[in-house]
Amino acid sequence: MKYALLFPGQGSQTVGMGRELCEKSPAARAVFDEADAALGFSLSDIIFNGPEDKLVLTAYTQPAILTMSIAVLRALEEKGIKPAPAFVAGHSLGEYTALVASGVLSLADGVRLVHKRGSFMQEAVPQGVGAMAAILGLEADSVRAVCEEAAQGEVCEPANFNTPVQTVISGHARAVERAVALASERGAKRSVMLKVSAPFHCSLMRPVADKLAVEMDKCSWSAGSAPLIANVSADPVTDVKAIRDGLYAQTYSPVRWVESIERMAAEGVEGFIELGAGKVLSGMVKKIARKASVLNIETFADLDKFVPFAEQKTEA
């Protein structure tokens, strides 16, 4: 079966994630140790023991989720399983994990880069100035129209196109609140203000991109083992410059997740394997590509599911 590897973004973290995996897999433990060494502090202690209010800080959450996903991948490899995906993709932060998984970035460069990314995002907009909200039950075009009407000279933009009827919006807090009220008037089933530390993936994040570009220059970049489906374009990219340009723009541009999954399905992908914490992406895929097979691998026991899933026979 032609399959893709998917990597989750911010919000999938839980205190204690990966602890059991590390106890049973030396390769997974080595990933956490390498991340600690690269960052110069014990990220693994924050992940395994919390407190939660520290783990949810963006500067720690981002490297934590990346580390967890790569630990799962290395544990698979330790069992003699060498994933050969047609594509790799990740949701927002997960795009960086996908690049580490495919060898474009080293683990050390990856965790340092997303730690900086998280710090820059946290600092970009004063607390309370920005906000994000999830709009459920409206199609993307309707959400775009709501954002334009609610902006009134402020920033209010789609940030994540997660499913055909779930879009996250981002911008100035008052504008996002106006959009939430408008969306309800236009027939949204639910509109929920999100507990986030910054308004991600909107033009308020533009200064972050320039700071991130400086940090990207400090990393070593290589050709990847599989094409990346980029968040900003939903197209496959392999060229390092194109990948870096996409990461730069991704900072202040929406995550085109619906189109990304649709593109992979159009390219013949029949299975999607989510590596890491939670099942958020698996749930999204089921609402976008309904005929696709979906698997999440998070725990040590889950590792044994990979081969039977990937070797499924598919109809010609």
18/254 Cα distance (integer angstroms)? 29
One-letter amino acid at 234 equals A
State phi, psi for 231 to the nearest 5 degrees. -55, -40
118, pLDDT greater than 60: yes
Q: 6-45 b/e with 16+ CB inside 10 Å = b?
A: bbbbbbbbebebbeebbeebebbbbbbebbbebbeeebbe
Cβ atoms within 10 Å, residue 220: 9
Catalytic residues: 92, 201
DSSP 5: E
Mean pLDDT of 71-81: 97
- Residue 1 to residue 132: CA distance in whole angstroms: 38
CATH architecture of 3-124+204-310: 3-Layer(aba) Sandwich (3.40)
Mean pLDDT computed over 163-186:
97
Backbone CA torsion sign across 11, 12, 18, 19: positive
Task: Name the pLDDT band for 127 (thresholds 50, 70, 90).
Answer: confident
* H helix runs in 79-163, sequence order: 93-101, 107-124, 140-151
Domain boundaries, the chain: 3-124+204-310, 130-196
Contact 169, 176 (CB under 8 A): yes
**316: pLDDT strictly greater than 50:** no
Fold of 130-196: Alpha-Beta Plaits (3.30.70)
How far apart CA 22 and CA 268 sit, in angstroms, is: 35
Cα gap 143→128, rounded to integer Å: 23
pLDDT, the chain, mean: 96
Residues of the chain with pLDDT > 70, as a percent, come to 99
Judge whether residue 42 has pLDDT over 90: yes
| pLDDT at res. 315 | 59
* Residues listed for the chain: 316
